[in-house]
């Protein structure tokens, strides 16, 4: 049987999982990611977890279809509450809003462990995730950008570092995407530039927040300098 065909977004998430990791996919839905990772030989063991019975039933169907009962364990859990993290090395939280991702991390003290690799893919508010991670003593090791038609996604690799830091608004908008040279990262930066410019223009037109516009124009200028650097 052929391997599962992942979306470009989920494939980029899969690429962030370390070879031979023991992975937990939180909010797994159909369990396509863990099934793909096992079928492709990248990992041998995975936990596919979801808060809802319906998605977990779909996950069970995927596991059964590909004969992965020995490799993919299904767990009903709110975030990481009922996931045994002892042997888990890589934790994926993908396809959820940024605030929910932060909440799930916040509820799990076992993630305060530098050996655990977090792979985060917020659908919204990546800026909040970046800010949260540094504030709570995590650091971002690497990011990737994926452009899927009109949607822009980032994938963040993070681990606990133990020192809290404050992020700038500039960093929160582009994270470590600015370190990449691939076309999708460049497109991510272009779209963030447009987003920040629109915020600046909106503020400039408002009655009370004109002075805040300057900060956003400055961020947009710095993003454009990165885009035009080569």
Binding region for ligand SAM (CB under 6 A): 10, 26-29, 50-52, 55, 78-79, 94-96, 100, 104
Q: Please say which residue, 83 or 189, places its beta carbon nearer to ligand SAM.
A: 83
Q: Please say which residue, 94 or 196, places its beta carbon nearer to ligand SAM.
A: 94
Distance of CA 217 to the CA centre of its chain: 27
Distance of CA 43 to the CA centre of its chain: 19
Q: Please say which residue, 78 or 89, places its beta carbon nearer to ligand SAM.
A: 78
> Closest by alpha carbon to 117, among 74, 145, 152, 155?
155
Could you give the maximum distance between any two Cα atoms of the chain, in Å?
A: 62
99 φψ region: left (φ > 0), alpha (ψ -120 to 50), beta (else): alpha
Least distance from ligand SAM to the Cβ atom of residue 10, Å: 6
Q: Please say which residue, 28 or 131, places its beta carbon nearer to ligand SAM.
A: 28
Question: 216 is written with which tokens?
Answer: 């956003």
Least distance from ligand SAM to the Cβ atom of residue 68, Å: 17
Q: What is the number of the residue whose Cβ is closest to ligand SAM? A: 95
Least distance from ligand SAM to the Cβ atom of residue 13, Å: 7
Least distance from ligand SAM to the Cβ atom of residue 158, Å: 17
Least distance from ligand SAM to the Cβ atom of residue 151, Å: 12
Question: What strand order describes the sheet that includes 117-124?
Answer: 72-76, 45-50, 22-26, 90-97, 117-124, 151-160, 138-148
Q: Please say which residue, 33 or 223, places its beta carbon nearer to ligand SAM.
A: 33
| Residues in contact with 134: Cβ distance below 8 Å, sequence separation at least 6, in sequence order | 140, 164, 165, 166, 167
CB 111 within 8 A of CB 160: yes
What SS3 class is residue 1?
coil
Residue indicated by tokens 């605030």: 99
Least distance from ligand SAM to the Cβ atom of residue 163, Å: 28
Q: Please say which residue, 100 or 141, places its beta carbon nearer to ligand SAM.
A: 100
């Amino acid at each position: 049987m052929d391997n599962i065909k992942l979306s470009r977004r989920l494939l980029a998430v899969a690429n962030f999982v370390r070879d031979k990791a023991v992975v937990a996919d939180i909010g797994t839905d159909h369990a396509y990611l863990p099934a793909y990772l096992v079928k492709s030989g990248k990992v041998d063991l995975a936990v596919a977890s979801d808060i809802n019975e319906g998605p977990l039933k779909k996950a069970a169907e995927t596991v059964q279809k590909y004969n992965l009962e020995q490799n993919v364990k299904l767990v009903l859990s709110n975030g990481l509450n009922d996931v045994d993290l002892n042997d888990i090395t890589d934790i994926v939280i993908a396809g959820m809003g940024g605030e929910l991702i932060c909440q799930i991390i916040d509820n799990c003290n076992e993630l305060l462990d530098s050996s655990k690799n977090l792979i985060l893919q917020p659908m919204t508010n990546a800026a909040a995730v970046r800010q949260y991670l540094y504030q709570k003593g995590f650091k971002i090791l690497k990011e990737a950008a994926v452009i899927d038609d009109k949607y822009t996604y980032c994938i963040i690799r993070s681990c606990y570092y133990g020192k809290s830091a404050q992020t700038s608004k500039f960093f929160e908008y582009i994270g470590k995407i600015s370190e990449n040279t691939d076309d999708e990262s460049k497109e991510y930066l272009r779209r963030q530039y447009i987003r920040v410019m629109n915020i600046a223009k909106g503020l400039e037109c408002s009655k009370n927040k004109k002075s805040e516009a300057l900060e956003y124009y400055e961020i947009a200028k710095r993003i454009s300098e990165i885009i035009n650097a080569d």
